[in-house]
Amino acid sequence: MYVLLTTFPQGGSGNVGDKLIEQSVKALVTREKGACEFFTIFREAPLEPHLARINSARAVLMPAFPVRDTPMYPGTYRLVEDLSRIRVPLVPIGANWNVYPGDAVSRSRVRYSPQTTAFLRRVGGQVAQFSCREYFTCRVLARHGVENTLMTGDPAWYDLASIGKPMRRPRRVEKLVFSPPLSPYYARQAEQVIGMLAELFPRAEKYCSMHLADLDTAGEEGPRAAENSAALTPAVTQKNRRIRAHAQAHGFEIRQVSGDLARTRFYEECDLHVGYECHSHLAFLSQRIPSVLIAEDARGVGFNYTLGVGGFEGFVRCQAPPAEPVRKTITSGYCTTLAEYSVAPARVDVHEALRAFIQEELASGFRRYLGLSSYIDELYEKVMRPFIRSIP
């Protein structure tokens, strides 16, 4: 039996990307360890009431372990007041980090608080290998004294049914998915991307896939959960209204997929994803379908660097960073503050760069994606699989 501290909130945003990570980890562990029981609990829940059950488990699995100062513990992870009362190892799987904009300057300057650094080192000292989902997270952890990192990839880019299969190479795009940004500051850029896709694929079936709920779509639970969810804010809700209206005006069907991973099954029938949602991107690539990701922060930047194809930065740094390192805290409700955005605003021509890239790939049958299936397969066999097997 394993305890799994999920990042998927039962209420609030219902981020289906977090649910994809949770289910992917369960599938990986079950495949490599045999039949397992999982005690799944949200990462922000207190664990004191469950200590007896936790200490009878093999380990506490921590998918999408988020490296951040919010504070991280106690905060992002509630855990217990005295960590020594948890007598089984805490095992990160696919750790990530996030700052804005997440470029080389950000990576060179990020500093976490002594409390967060101590927690990261404590967790790192309990495991032989600290699993990270992309290379930049490994570098950031090393800067904070955690040296035993391993780039395993994100659990969500391993669709076990697709292992060993080649990438699909559509000659034409008949079904297309767009996913919107989280930050309201990217609304105008997103509209330009929507317009470009509508021009490029006038006869395709086009979908705008909303991975997170907002105050308009979360239902009765939404307003009560708003204080605990970055997505349920007036600014994000207004941005989503604007993007939904713009997408509908350009022939896109709106698909609200938050809260239920089954709502994303239509991805399997599509030919291409273009957008900002990291786990829409990974869902497509895991099923060997081409995808293009516009990075709006460090999460997308890291994936684009690690996967090596179909990645664009949605921002451009135009100012020198502040004289003092700024510790990243997520208090704005949508990850990016105005001060941060002013240093690296949205790139005004990204839609044209995307157009050129997509046209090139259509002409070549998505040739640049050819090696991605082999990359994922080998990473699974030589890195992720041995790592999962090494878990107690």
Q: Which domains does the chain have, with CATH numbers?
A: 2-159+375-390 (3.40.50), 161-321+332-371 (3.40.50)
- How far is residue 139's CA from residue 147's CA, in Å, rounded to a whole number? 9
In the numeric block, which tokens belong to residue 206? 């086009």
Name the E strands within 218-371.
Answer: 252-256, 272-275, 291-295, 311-313
Residue 297 pairs in a beta bridge with: none
Neighbours of 47 (CB within 10 A): 20
Residue 45 DSSP label? S
pLDDT digit string (tens) for 288-336?
Answer: 999 999 999 999 999 999 999 999 999 999 866 555 444 443 334 445 7
Q: What is the mean pLDDT of the chain?
A: 91
- How far is residue 389's CA from residue 392's CA, in Å, rounded to a whole number? 8
230 pLDDT exceeds 60? no
Identity at 160, one-letter amino acid code? L
Helix H or strand E encompassing 132: strand 130-132
pTM recorded for the entire structure? 0.93
β-pairing verdict for 66-67 and 96-97: parallel
What is the pLDDT averaged over residues 374-386?
98
DSSP 3-state of 211: coil
| Residue spans of alpha helices (H) in the chain | 16-33, 51-55, 104-109, 114-124, 135-143, 187-200, 221-225, 234-249, 278-286, 298-307, 338-343, 350-364, 372-379, 385-390
Banded pLDDT at 232 (limits 50, 70, 90): low
Report pLDDT for 213.
Answer: 82
Report pLDDT for 214.
Answer: 80
- How far is residue 284's CA from residue 270's CA, in Å, rounded to a whole number? 9
What is the pLDDT averaged over residues 275-295?
98
Banded pLDDT at 217 (limits 50, 70, 90): confident
- Please work out, in degrees rounded to the nearest 5, the angle formed at the alpha carbon of residue 27 by the alpha carbons of 149 and 52: 75
226 pLDDT exceeds 50? no
Q: What percent of the chain has pLDDT over 90?
A: 82
- Please work out, in degrees rounded to the nearest 5, the angle formed at the alpha carbon of residue 127 by the alpha carbons of 330 and 117: 35
Report pLDDT for 328.
Answer: 43
15 pLDDT exceeds 60? yes
166 pLDDT exceeds 50? yes
In the numeric block, which tokens belong to residue 157? 């880019």
* Better-predicted residue by pLDDT, 323 or 7: 7
DSSP 3-state of 172: coil
Q: What are phi and psi of 306, to 5 degrees?
A: -75, -40
Residue 345 DSSP label? P
Weakest-pLDDT range from 52-56, 117-121, 326-330 = 326-330
